Amino acid sequence: MKRRDFIEKTAAGTAFVGLGLSLSSFKSTDIKQLTILHTNDVHSYIDPFPADHPRNANMGGVARRAEIIEAVRKENPNVLLLDAGDIFQGTPYFNYYGGELEFKLMSMMRYDAATIGNHDFDNGIEGLYAQLPHASFEFISSNYDFKNTLMDGFVKPYKIFNKNGIKVGVFGLGVELNGLVDKNMYGETVYNDPVETSQDMVRILKKEEKCDLVICLSHIGYNYRNEPEKICDLKLAALTKDIDMIIGGHTHTFLNKPTIVKNLDDKEVLVNQVGCYGINLGRIDVFFDSNKNKTHEGRSIVV
């Protein structure tokens, strides 16, 4: 994707997002807390921006992100750390190491899962495959069919995590590659419709696997104002059922707090994205009572 200006002003903000309940209605002894930390479109930015950068001076950097992540884990051990794609491409680190450094650092930070963005094919599907041994986390993509490629068997359509008795289902979506990425780079990878794929995934995760929380890890983009027919996270939330949260990427959209969208059942879906280059770290705390009713708090942390 092309580098974009900020869509929304970057700031650390906190928003309470209730799904039918207030947090104060929970008794503290009944609450189970799950903390979801997330990044997107880091684009090989390992170091902080330089002090003389006109917009992002001294912001970002893997070392500071790692410190924040560890501080959150000390506060609450029930953490899921996710990335919404475009891990690669953007600095000489990628040009020189081909993605090895990015995957090793993410593994050191103990990422749980990532989906695949269009720039993750920038060294070809062979280049992506070659770096997989350096990643200790899962790659999740539900609408890319890798059957006739080197990646077959190395990418899962979904993953279920159990955190303190809370069952969390995560599935992944990628953007249409045709016209965006050279065909030679992604080979025989087949793109499938995100809405249809999502409905298949939530049927498995919510109906069959009985997940308490369903997260879509998306690299299809937050919104396209000039292309209203194009699928995006906001449209996906409105056109589907049983997705609780969409953690997005691709459009480099800076949100201070998650956007709330009503789905086909008139239930609320959280949609979030935290810009690009590792400048922000998304944090969404989900609180469950003894009946698995849930409330959320979401904010963007400036790194």
| Confidence (pLDDT) at 28 | 55
Name the band, by pLDDT with cuts 50, 70 and 90, for residue 108: very high
**Is the pLDDT assigned to residue 207 strictly greater than 80?**
yes
Residues 10-35 pLDDT 10s:
333 333 344 444 444 445 558 899 99
CB neighbours of residue 124 within 10 Å: 16
**pTM recorded for the entire structure:** 0.90
The better pLDDT of the pair 283, 2 is held by 283
Distance CA 216, CA 243 (A): 7
Indicate the pLDDT class of residue 292, thresholds 50, 70 and 90: confident
Token pair listed for 209: 């696997």
**Quick one: average pLDDT of 197-207?**
97
Residues 166-176, mean pLDDT to the nearest whole number:
98
- Look at residue 69 and tell me whether its pLDDT is greater than 60: yes
Paired tokens of 246: 């969409």
Higher-confidence residue: 11 or 177?
177
Q: Among 4-8, 66-70, 121-125, which stretch is predicted with the lowest mean pLDDT?
A: 4-8
* Arithmetic mean of pLDDT, 34-44: 98
Distance between CA atoms of residues 56 and 255, nearest Å: 16
CA–CA separation, 71 and 65 (whole Å) = 10
pLDDT in tens, 217-250: 999 999 999 999 999 999 999 999 999 999 999 9
The domains found in the chain, sorted by start residue, are 14-302 (3.60.21.10)
Is 70 exceeded by the pLDDT of residue 115? yes
Tokens describing residue 231? 């699928």
Confidence of residue 297 (pLDDT cuts 50, 70, 90): very high
Question: Parallel, antiparallel, or unpaired: how do β-strands 138-139 and 113-114 relate?
Answer: parallel
- In this model, does residue 4 exceed pLDDT 60? no
User: pLDDT-derived band of residue 7, with 50, 70 and 90 as boundaries?
Assistant: very low
